[in-house]
Amino acid sequence: MSGFDAGWLALREPVDHASRHAGLAAQVREHFAGRESLVVVDLGCGTGSNLRALAPSLPPRQHWRLIDGDAALLAAARQRLADWADDVRPTAGGVELHKDGRRIEVNLECADLATRDLDFTDLGAGLVTAAALFDLVSEDWLERLVACSARQRVPLYSVLNYDGTARWQPENPLDARVVAAFNRHQRGDKGFGPALGPASGETFAQLLSQHGYRAASGDSPWELAERDAALIARLAEGFAQAAGEIEPEARDAFARWGAGRAAAVRVTIGHRDVFAA
Ligand SMILES: C[S@@+](CC[C@H](N)C(=O)[O-])C[C@H]1O[C@@H](n2cnc3c(N)ncnc32)[C@H](O)[C@@H]1O
């Protein structure tokens, strides 16, 4: 278990897909247009949301290596991908999916990315991607990934990196304090050393440029409204809990804030997408 349960990932998936920066997504599609096949490595794949979002924009034959440290999420990924595909066949390392004329071979790997080798050239990787992961990682880890990828100039595409922005409406006097404490919590160790948290998008773009990549980035905020009430409620609870770990003396006040914020009618959570080739 990683603390990212499949229910939470399912709740956020439609919003994640709708929030991706469209211009950057178009750049990714154009970059690989005309190719017959592509090997994609998805880091911290969860239940496979990134594949479901991205595969329709990529070449007709795809080989995906889905890597996650949580075996339960990988099992859920296998099931969710089978449900998503038009047709599915088991293979030695995973599944072969057929979806809208594309053939997508998927291999699932359970590994701790904090210690795993990040050179994916042995897999023939033509794209390394991650969704909602880089805010969890440390600068050292990200530098290692970019340096390994830069040797063969493997394109990198990272989406939905939290940027520290969280706005709740109607406003509440405690909002700023909770968000500040939550953002401090985001900088704590999430298994990779001190996490980049809200700095991940900017740090990633800097590292890419230092390693000779041409990088483009764009905002991909969640713009949540009443239709997203279930996601807003989980988010409010998560913010209150994380903030309470930073300021234990305010835990009760933050919990009350969370209970009230579950009824917020508009919530903006800032994210950043980055593509580099
Ligand atoms: C916020 S979730 C995002 C999941 C998925 N990419 C998505 O967009 O739905 C972060 C994912 O990273 C995985 N993860 C976190 N730390 C990890 C580590 N050290 N090694 C491998 N996977 C890790 C978690 O298990 C989880 O699936």
Q: Considering only CA atoms, give the Rg of the chain.
A: 19
List helix spans (H) across the chain: 6-19, 22-32, 49-54, 71-84, 139-150, 175-186, 200-210, 229-246, 251-261
List of residues 6+ apart from 83 with CB closer than 8 A = none
Structure tokens at 268: 């903006």
Q: Which residues lie with the beta carbon below 6 Å from any ligand 1 atom?
A: 2, 4, 9, 16, 44-46, 49-50, 68-70, 73, 112-114, 131-133, 136, 191
List of residues 6+ apart from 112 with CB closer than 8 A = 69, 191
For residue 74, how far is its CA from the centre of ligand 1 (angstroms)? 10
Question: Which atom of ligand 1 is the closest one to the Cα of 160?
Answer: 8
8 Å CB contact between 211 and 151: no
Query: Pick from 131, 98, 100, 251: which is nearest to 181 by CA?
Result: 251
Structure tokens at 25: 């997504």
Mutate to test the pocket of ligand 1, among 41, 136, 235, 269 (most ligand atoms within 8 A of CB): 136
- Determine the Cα–Cα distance for residues 206 and 193; give it in Å rounded to an integer: 19
- Determine the Cα–Cα distance for residues 240 and 254; give it in Å rounded to an integer: 5
Atom 13 of ligand 1: nearest residue by CA position = 44
Confidence of residue 2 (pLDDT cuts 50, 70, 90): low
Tell me the average pLDDT across 65-71: 98
| 266-276/222-224 β-pairing | antiparallel
Please, what is the average pLDDT of the chain?
Answer: 97
For residue 43, how far is its CA from the centre of ligand 1 (angstroms)? 7
| pLDDT at 1 (0 to 100) | 47
For residue 172, how far is its CA from the centre of ligand 1 (angstroms)? 31
Structure tokens at 273: 């997408």
Mutate to test the pocket of ligand 1, among 11, 51, 133 (most ligand atoms within 8 A of CB): 133
| pLDDT at 3 (0 to 100) | 75
Centre a 10 Å sphere on the Cβ of residue 34 and count the other Cβ atoms it contains. Answer: 7
pLDDT digits (tens, 9 = 90+) for 177-212: 999 999 999 999 999 999 999 999 999 999 999 999
- Determine the Cα–Cα distance for residues 144 and 119; give it in Å rounded to an integer: 9
Share of the chain above pLDDT 90, in %: 97
Centre a 10 Å sphere on the Cβ of residue 230 and count the other Cβ atoms it contains. Answer: 11
For residue 80, how far is its CA from the centre of ligand 1 (angstroms)? 16
Cis (ω within 30 of 0) for the bond into 170? yes
- Determine the Cα–Cα distance for residues 225 and 44; give it in Å rounded to an integer: 28
pLDDT digits (tens, 9 = 90+) for 16-36: 999 999 999 999 999 999 999
- Determine the Cα–Cα distance for residues 254 and 38; give it in Å rounded to an integer: 47
Partners of 165 in beta bridges: none
For residue 224, how far is its CA from the centre of ligand 1 (angstroms)? 22
Q: Which residue reads 């939905």 in tokens? A: 160
Checking if the pLDDT of 118 tops 70, the result is yes
What's the CATH number of domain 6-166+192-222+270-276, 3.40.190.10, 3.40.50.920, 3.40.640.10, 3.40.50.150? 3.40.50.150
Question: Which atom of ligand 1 is the closest one to the Cα of 50?
Answer: 8
Atom 27 of ligand 1: nearest residue by CA position = 46
pLDDT digits (tens, 9 = 90+) for 85-116: 999 999 998 999 999 999 999 999 999 999 99
pLDDT digits (tens, 9 = 90+) for 129-187: 999 999 999 999 999 999 999 999 999 999 999 999 999 999 999 999 999 999 999 99
